[in-house]
Amino acid sequence: MKQQKISLADQCADIGWSLTEVRAQKHDKRLWSIEGNPVGLPEEVVGQMFADAGASVSYCEGGSALLLMKAAALETLARRNPFGDRVDAVNRYLEAQMTILVEHTAEIVYSVRNVTSDALERNVSELSRSSTLASFFPRVKATFMLELFEQLGREKLADLLMAFSDAPYDYRAGWPDLIVIEGGQMSLVEVKTSDKLLDSQLRFAKGISSPMGFDCNVVRLKATKVQGV
């Protein structure tokens, strides 16, 4: 019996993500534009669409959230660092630290739940000065991380870290392309052109975004003919 093909719409319906189609001009295999805006990669042109509407946008597949959790937990991560090295705590991937320090998960999450705004701001600044992190997460901005902290709050950020710690190496991937903050609301936006959601994205949806109650959306670009082509 021939197996029925699963569409992007089917996937979105299954995990509770909305699906919106946006008409855009396709210039070549990778570059698009929307309504005469500058040409760019799909996530860039969709991010610009949200920015034009007044939203704050981070183009980093969850990088802003991962670094924000690290910043909020940095004092404990540094104190429990197996090398006694704060710089290592700053630079090492969060998924590695949560795996190495698994016996201290409760303590690390507690530190996020109780971090002060001043300490968080200092730690975000410290992370933003790391050339290593800048090479890993070139699009993550300190200003957006602080805005994201204001949006999520300590409790939800701590809950997010707890959920992440269940399977750090699984949940480091699968985050939607964009984090969008607009009108006091945060949403996660995945940008597609023709492909479907990846296994890592479905795992993220079921293990992180759904339990956390995040508003997640998929924007699919639909090609219109470029004038003169």
What CATH number is given to the structural domain containing 52? 3.40.1350
What dihedral angle (degrees, nearest 10) is formed by the CA atoms of 179, 72, 136, 221? -10
Higher pLDDT pick, 2 / 186: 186
Task: State whether 158 and 204 are in the same domain.
Answer: no
- Are 3 and 54 in the same domain? yes
The Cα–Cα gap between 96 and 107 comes to 16
Task: Say what the pLDDT of residue 226 is.
Answer: 58
pLDDT band, very low/low/confident/very high, at 225 (cuts 50, 70, 90) = low
Task: Quote the tokens at residue 63.
Answer: 């990088």
Please count the structural domains in the chain: 2
Judgement on whether residues 11 and 25 belong to the same structural domain of the protein: yes
4 pLDDT more than 90: no
| 160, pLDDT greater than 50 | yes
Residue 105 has a pLDDT of 98
Are residues 161 and 177 located together in one domain of the fold? no
Say if residue 44 is in the same domain as residue 28: yes
The answer to whether residues 162 and 68 belong to one domain is yes
Structure tokens at 193: 């052109």
Q: Can you give the pLDDT at residue 57?
A: 98
> What pLDDT, on a 0 to 100 scale, did the predictor assign at position 35?
86
Q: 167 lies in which domain range?
A: 63-142+152-172
Within-domain flag for 104: yes
Both 109 and 26 in one domain: the answer is no
**For 27-76, what is each residue's pLDDT tens digit?**
988 999 998 889 999 999 999 999 999 999 999 899 999 999 999 999 99
Are 163 and 68 members of one domain?
yes
Average pLDDT score over residue span 190-214: 96
Per-residue model confidence as pLDDT tens digits over 174-186: 999 999 999 999 9
Confidence (pLDDT) at 1: 45
Q: Predicted confidence band at 5 (pLDDT cuts at 50, 70, 90)?
A: confident
Q: Taking each helix axis from N to C terminus, what angle separates 63-79 and 142-165, rounded to the nearest 10 degrees?
A: 70
Q: Could you tell me what percent of the chain has a pLDDT over 90?
A: 90
Chain-wide mean pLDDT for the chain? 95
Cα separation of 159 and 109, whole Å? 8
Domain membership of residue 147 (yes or no) is no
**For 194, what's the count of Cα atoms within 13 Å in the CB-facing half-sphere?**
4
111 and 48, same structural domain?
A: no
